[in-house]
């Protein structure tokens, strides 16, 4: 949102460049572009990732649908991780219980 107006951009270019390479960061006359600059690869940060987009018409219904999809994917990931965590905890408890039972039998006889 800029000055109370919501803007939308569509990604049209993704580049990985050296940190000193700034030729893709100049203003292009007559074009409404935005460039996101971030470090890459993760934890090494030896290069820069440039993600460029051109302005498109903002469509609230498209934005809402996209956001809904992102939330659904996040919820699916959360529930999957929760299910895996529960399975690991239950498996760990079963293994612990069986080992404890074996140890009790050995010491009991």
81/53 same-domain check: no
**15: domain range?**
1-58
Asked if the model's pLDDT at residue 17 lies above 80, the reply is yes
pLDDT in tens, 63-74: 888 889 999 999
> Looking at the structure, do residues 47 and 71 belong to the same domain, yes or no?
no
With 60 as the cut, is the pLDDT of residue 38 above it?
yes
- Indicate the average pLDDT of the chain: 92
Check whether residue 38 and residue 24 sit in a common domain. yes
Instruction: Say how many domains are in the chain.
Output: 2
In terms of domains, do 28 and 79 share one? Answer: no
pTM score of the predicted model: 0.60
Residues 52 and 69 in one domain: no
Half-sphere exposure of 34 (CA within 13 A, CB side): 8
Average pLDDT over residues 31-36: 95
Residues 54 and 70 in one domain: no
Residues 17-34 have a mean pLDDT of 94
Q: How far is CA 109 from CA 81, 86, 98, 105, in A?
A: 42, 35, 17, 6
Instruction: Note the pLDDT of residue 108.
Output: 62
């Amino acid at each position: 949102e800029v000055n109370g107006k919501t803007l939308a951009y569509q990604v049209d270019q993704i580049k990985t460049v050296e940190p000193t390479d700034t030729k893709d960061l100049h203003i292009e006359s007559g074009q409404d572009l935005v460039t996101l600059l971030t470090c890459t690869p993760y934890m090494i940060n030896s290069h820069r990732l440039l993600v460029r987009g051109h302005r498109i018409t903002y469509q609230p219904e498209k934005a809402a649908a996209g956001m809904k999809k992102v939330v659904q994917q996040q919820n699916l990931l959360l529930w999957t991780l929760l299910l895996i965590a529960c399975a690991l905890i239950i498996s760990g408890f079963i293994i612990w219980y069986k080992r404890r039972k074996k140890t009790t039998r050995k010491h009991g006889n």
